[in-house]
Amino acid sequence: MFPKLDPLLHSELRLAVMSILAGVDSAEFSYIKKQTGATSGNLSVQLDKLSAAGYISVEKGFKGKVPCTTCKITPTGLTAFENYVNSLKEYLI
């Protein structure tokens, strides 16, 4: 019996965001957008979903005079991501 994959992570853009955030302290919206090639609107929606699930924290602030949104993976998000990767392994073995 295969384990059920976390539906929140089993989506290309959300998984890409989590993969980026798992390897860094925190990342700005512009960096995630560049790395994923997603549109601002779509990325915002997906970040909101991850944030609502408690997988990431989103901080809105300013860098000088420019608005800046910073995302950071939470311990809950990291655990969910690890579980997701472990479940994937079982599918592939």
Partner 1 sequence: MENNIENKEMTAQQSLGIITEMINNSRRTILQNSAKHFLLWGILLTVTSLVIYELWHVTGSPIWNCAWFVMPALGFPIVRILDGKHSDVPQNEINKQLGLIWLTYCIFAVIISVIAMLAVPMNISLVIAVLLGFAECISGFLLKNWTITIGGLILGIGGAVATSLIYNEAQLLIFTLGGIILVVTGLIIKFQYK
Least distance in Å: CB of 32 to partner 1? 9
Over its C-alpha atoms, the chain yields an Rg (Å, rounded) of 14
Place of tokens 């512009």: 30
Beta-carbon neighbour count of residue 36 at 10 Å?
A: 17
Residue from 53, 58, 78, 85 touching partner 1 (CB under 8 A): that is 85
Yes or no: say if 53 and 32 are a contact pair by the CB < 8 Å rule: no
Q: Work out whether 61 is an interface residue with partner 1 (CB under 8 A).
A: no
Applying CB under 8 A, which of residues 1, 4, 37, 67 lies at the interface with partner 1? 37
**Smallest distance, partner 1 to C-beta of residue 76, A:** 18
Task: Give the H/E segment covering residue 39.
Answer: none
**Which residue among 40, 42, 76, 86 contacts partner 1 (CB under 8 A)?**
42
